[in-house]
């Protein structure tokens, strides 16, 4: 089954079960784009036709998928990584740890090209990742590493 048909099947199941009562479809769902103007991944556009907030932990996050112009509210992963690895704990670390984390951010940025968004302020940090090839995953950052990863489609299927 293709990713597109898989997410459509899950969304049909959610609609049939009445799980869409709180959902708010994005008015431009089918036309969503990345900040660089490329079309958003199909699974995110399909999800946005169901709800304009990302899914998380069996429900919906407080993070909107896109702005009113249809641009995904994501940043380059290097910015997201800087936030979760360093900025969110900056007042708790010394200079040596900061230097270590700067190197870690550089290494992770090389491995995780693309766009992302932090889906909640919790620990471990849940991060949406849209890879350079358009694959969409949710990663959890904890103790200097991403200790868990699931496909966006699997996150949606778990609802």
Q: What is the pLDDT of residues 59-99, one digit of tens each?
A: 889 999 999 999 999 999 999 999 999 988 888 888 999 99
**pLDDT-derived band at 121, boundaries 50, 70, 90:** confident
Q: Taking the CA of residue 136 as centre, how many other CA atoms within 13 Å lie in the half-sphere pointing to its CB?
A: 24
| Res 81: pLDDT | 96
| Res 59: pLDDT | 82
The secondary structure of residue 41, as a DSSP letter, is P
From the list 43, 72, 25, the residue with the least C-alpha distance to 154 is: 43
**pLDDT-derived band at 15, boundaries 50, 70, 90:** confident
List of residues 6+ apart from 61 with CB closer than 8 A: 53, 54, 55, 119, 120, 126
Q: What is the mean pLDDT of residues 138-159?
A: 90
What pTM was estimated for this model as a whole? 0.89
Domain region containing 40: 3-157
Please state, for a pLDDT cut of 90, what percent of the chain lies above it: 67
| Res 32: pLDDT | 98
- How many structural domains is the chain composed of? 1
């Amino acid at each position: 089954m293709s990713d597109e048909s898989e997410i459509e099947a899950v969304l049909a199941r959610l609609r049939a079960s009445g799980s869409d009562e709180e959902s708010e479809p994005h008015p431009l769902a089918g036309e969503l784009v990345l900040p660089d103007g490329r079309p958003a991944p199909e699974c995110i556009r399909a999800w946005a036709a169901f709800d304009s907030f990302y899914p998380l932990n069996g429900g919906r996050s407080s993070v909107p998928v896109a702005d009113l112009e249809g641009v995904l509210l994501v940043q380059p992963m290097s910015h997201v990584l800087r936030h979760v690895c360093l900025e969110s704990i900056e007042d708790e670390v010394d200079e040596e740890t900061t230097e270590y984390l700067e190197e870690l951010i550089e290494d992770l940025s090389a491995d995780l090209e693309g766009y992302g968004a932090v889906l909640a302020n919790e620990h471990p940090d849940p991060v949406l990742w849209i890879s350079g090839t358009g694959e969409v995953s949710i990663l959890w950052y904890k103790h200097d590493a991403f200790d868990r990863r699931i496909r966006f489609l699997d996150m949606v299927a778990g609802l």
